[in-house]
Amino acid sequence: MPGRSFRVGITCYPSVGGSGILASALGEELARRGHEVHFISYDRPFRLPAAAPRIHFHPVAINDYELFKYPDYTLPLSVKMAEVARDHALDVLHVHYAVPHATAAILARAMSAAGREPCVVTTLHGTDTTLLGRDAGYGPAIRHALTRSDAVTAVSGWLRDETVRLLKVERPIEVIPNFFTPRPPGRSRAEIRDELGVGDVPLVVHVSNLRPVKRIDMLLETFARALPGRDFRLLVLAGGDFRPFAEQAKRMGVADRVVVRENVFEVEDYVAASDVGLFTSDSESFCLGILEAMVLGVPSVSTAVGGVPEVVVDGQTGLLAPAGDATGLAAALGSLLDDPPRRLAMGVEARRRARELFSAEAVVPRYEELYARATAAPVPH
């Protein structure tokens, strides 16, 4: 740890989603490096270990007052943030996903005693800008919170540029990419394949929360188009309900070749037992799923959207195809399935790139440096 240790409050969505996963991993790494980390959210983030030194969790209680048609989260969150900041003398409130976390943090800072205000660091993850930033009911509040944050980061250059374009943000936004640290292997490739009942045939893996932007329809379409003349399986690690898509798989006649596991919190063993990743999103600021595969030596076929080309080097660590192009995606997938040596070489290169650019060792010190800069020179407010 370089010099100073920080007391950091982290707020994120605790449910399945890239921003919460990244925030949890960051908290774990910061605690490992000697910082004191306080998670503040309505639930304990799902990938956070049950108990770990220097990691604390502060739940936000939400009351459902009859008077309100919709329960409010932003105000109780800001009050809890201010309380934790005061009681634990936090240096930094680091919020992941701007809505409503950045607004709550700005309010918490305003409620803190003069001279004891925590710095606010906001990390943008994607739809907080690309979806909500376009919404007239949110845009001005997001812009305000970003302008008043002491530091703002985005997980890709594409997301930084989109944020500037959509929200006309004039302050600097630093690009700090995502990272992924795999947990130690639990079960072997053979054990996992045995559980999945896939024998030795090539296995294509998809990991996501199945939201509409992930285009699961396109995933199944790509899979179905690549199948003729080949024997392989699709494994979907679903952070959401797969039932609406099971019908489509049945209609396409591929249901018996699709294996689904829902709510797998530790994806590593499943991904490591796979041969190719497949991601067909319409939009991704980064795509943590691709990185999880890369770290485990698995190359991906993906749509070339948003920040994905910053993660995947087309032809070296994976293959890219235009969004919505099931034919192109299926051709790319087929070419990797038909060429195991190329697939393996890409996996090696993917792992090397992940280690160099997207490992905790490469990324976490950048957050530490940012905390040091932000606390040394907070923005005047």
Q: Give the binding site for ligand GMT (CB under 6 A).
A: 17-19, 22, 97, 125-127, 155, 178, 209, 211, 213, 283-288
Q: Which helix (H) or strand (E) holds 369?
A: helix 360-376
**20 vs 334, beta carbon nearer ligand GMT:** 20
6: closest CA among 54, 62, 71, 74?
54
Smallest distance, Å, CB 313 to ligand GMT? 17
User: Whose Cβ is closer to ligand GMT: residue 101's or residue 193's?
Assistant: 101
Min CB(169)–ligand GMT separation in Å: 17
Tell me the closest approach of the beta carbon of residue 3 to ligand GMT, in angstroms: 28
Spatial CB neighbours of 291, under 8 Å, sequence gap ≥ 6: 178, 179, 180, 311, 354, 358
- Over its C-alpha atoms, the chain yields an Rg (Å, rounded) of 21
C-alpha 40/C-alpha 14 separation (Å) is: 10
Distance of closest approach, residue 112 Cβ to ligand GMT, in angstroms: 27
Q: Which residue has the tokens 């190719």?
A: 276
Minimum CB separation from ligand GMT for residue 27, in Å? 14
Residue with tokens 């040394």: 376
Is 126 in contact with 18 (CB distance < 8 Å)?
yes
By beta-carbon proximity to ligand GMT, the closer residue of 207 and 333 is: 207
Which lies closer to ligand GMT via its Cβ, residue 97 or residue 371?
97
Residue 146 or 226: which CB sits closer to ligand GMT? 146
- Among 16, 12, 53, 48, residue whose Cα is nearest residue 31: 53
- Using DSSP, state whether 17 is helix, strand or coil: coil
